[in-house]
């Protein structure tokens, strides 16, 4: 009763249940949200193969009141302190108690695949990545935080580092944490310094700051204007018109102004 009265001011539903069920509500809620993210990411990959635009697909799906628009943003997958931990924990509890959490396993597998898809896109455009310089635009696991736990950006950066890439990074608030956790990432003071001399940029965290960048200047600063938009932050066709080789997530078109030879050079010359 004391806890009930304490929460009355929140004017939210109060569920009174046993400890095990309360624990399961928390795990199941986070696992369901993670499942929505992995579902739309799988749809995004299918859209790329079929030539559909996942942003329009997600918008259309969301108008169905049974589905809604929340957590239907395709990208580089979920991260942070809750979703990865809770999905893994629920899957483990299921297995040790004799059930078979196929869906949870698939959710985690798709999430890992989304990180690898960014590397594959880079290889598709640039060919061998060894010795290339690639900038990570955003390092926190999501915007408006300095939290880098299970950050998709850092996991992608680690894969690139293993391939011999010179990895640069910029984040408005997470730089200090990244410096301790991933010292191989060369940190830059702003996005324009990050872009200077880069072979590609990867948009990994959808900070509002990034939406108002002078993208023409970003393009001019780069050695090769390759933009891998892991958050579909930009209008792909506008970026192409500026001169970028653009790849989004599930956007259904190959974002190049002209053919390339696998090394970022004009194949028509």
Whether 34 shows a pLDDT value over 60: the answer reads yes
Question: pTM for this one?
Answer: 0.88
Residue 88 in domain: yes
Residue 132 in domain: yes
Q: Last residue of a domain, which of 66, 84, 109?
A: 109
The total of structural domains in the chain comes to: 2
- What mean pLDDT do residues 2-11 have? 80
Q: Last residue of a domain, which of 91, 109, 127?
A: 109
Let me know whether 105 and 122 are in one domain. Answer: no
Q: Last residue of a domain, which of 109, 129, 144?
A: 109
Domain that includes residue 188, residue range: 115-247
Tell me how far CA of residue 154 lies from CA of 18, 87, 129, 135, in angstroms: 39, 20, 17, 12
Q: Given 82, 188, 198, 219, which residue is catalytic?
A: 82
Let me know whether 36 and 136 are in one domain. Answer: no
Q: What is the pLDDT of residue 195?
A: 98
Q: What is the pLDDT of residue 183?
A: 96
Let me know whether 174 and 133 are in one domain. Answer: yes
Whether 243 shows a pLDDT value over 60: the answer reads yes
Q: What is the pLDDT of residue 219?
A: 97
Identify the weakest region by mean pLDDT among 16-20, 127-131, 172-176.
16-20
Q: What is the pLDDT of residue 267?
A: 35
Helix (H) or strand (E) run with residue 200 in it: strand 200-203
Q: What is the pLDDT of residue 105?
A: 98
Residue 256 in domain: no
Helix (H) or strand (E) run with residue 179 in it: helix 175-181
188 belongs to the catalytic site = no
Q: What is the pLDDT of residue 254?
A: 56
Whether 251 shows a pLDDT value over 60: the answer reads yes
Whether 55 shows a pLDDT value over 50: the answer reads yes
Residue 264 in domain: no
Whether 120 shows a pLDDT value over 50: the answer reads yes
Q: What is the DSSP string of 86-140?
A: HHHHHHHHHHHTT---HHHHHHHHHHHHHHHHHHHHHHHHHS--TT-EEEEE--S
Q: What is the pLDDT of residue 253?
A: 65
Q: Who has greater pLDDT, 204 or 13? A: 204
Let me know whether 51 and 166 are in one domain. Answer: no
Q: What is the pLDDT of residue 258?
A: 39
Q: What is the pLDDT of residue 261?
A: 39
Alpha carbon distance 151, 149 (integer Å): 5
Let me know whether 243 and 153 are in one domain. Answer: yes
- What mean pLDDT do residues 92-114 have? 97
CATH number of the domain residue 172 falls in:
3.40.50.720
Q: What is the pLDDT of residue 176?
A: 95
Whether 25 shows a pLDDT value over 50: the answer reads yes
């Amino acid at each position: 009763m004391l806890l009930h009265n304490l929460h009355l001011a929140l004017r939210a539903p109060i569920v009174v249940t046993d400890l095990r069920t309360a624990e399961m509500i928390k795990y199941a809620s986070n696992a369901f949200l993670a499942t929505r993210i992995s579902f739309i990411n799988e749809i995004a990959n299918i859209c790329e193969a079929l030539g559909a635009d996942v942003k329009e697909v997600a918008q259309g799906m969301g108008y169905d009141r049974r589905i809604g628009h929340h957590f239907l943003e395709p990208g580089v997958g979920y991260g942070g302190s809750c979703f990865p931990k809770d999905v893994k924990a629920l899957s483990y509890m299921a297995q040790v108690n004799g059930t078979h959490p196929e869906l949870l396993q698939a959710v985690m597998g798709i999430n890992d695949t989304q990180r690898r898809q960014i590397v594959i896109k880079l290889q598709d455009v640039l060919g061998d990545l060894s010795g290339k310089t690639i900038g990570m635009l955003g390092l926190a696991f999501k915007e408006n935080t300095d939290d880098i736990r299970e950050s998709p950006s850092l996991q992608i950066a680690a894969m690139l580092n293993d391939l011999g890439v010179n990895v640069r990074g910029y984040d408005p608030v997470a730089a200090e944490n990244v410096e301790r956790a991933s010292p191989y990432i060369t940190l830059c003071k702003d996005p324009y310094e990050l872009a200077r001399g880069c072979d590609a940029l990867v948009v990994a965290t959808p900070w509002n700051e990034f939406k108002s960048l002078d993208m023409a200047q970003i393009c001019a600063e780069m050695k090769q204007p390759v933009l891998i938009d892991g958050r579909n932050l930009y209008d792909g066709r506008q970026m192409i018109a500026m001169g970028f080789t653009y790849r989004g997530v599930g956007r259904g078109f190959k974002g190049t102004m002209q053919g390339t030879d696998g090394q970022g050079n004009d194949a028509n010359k």
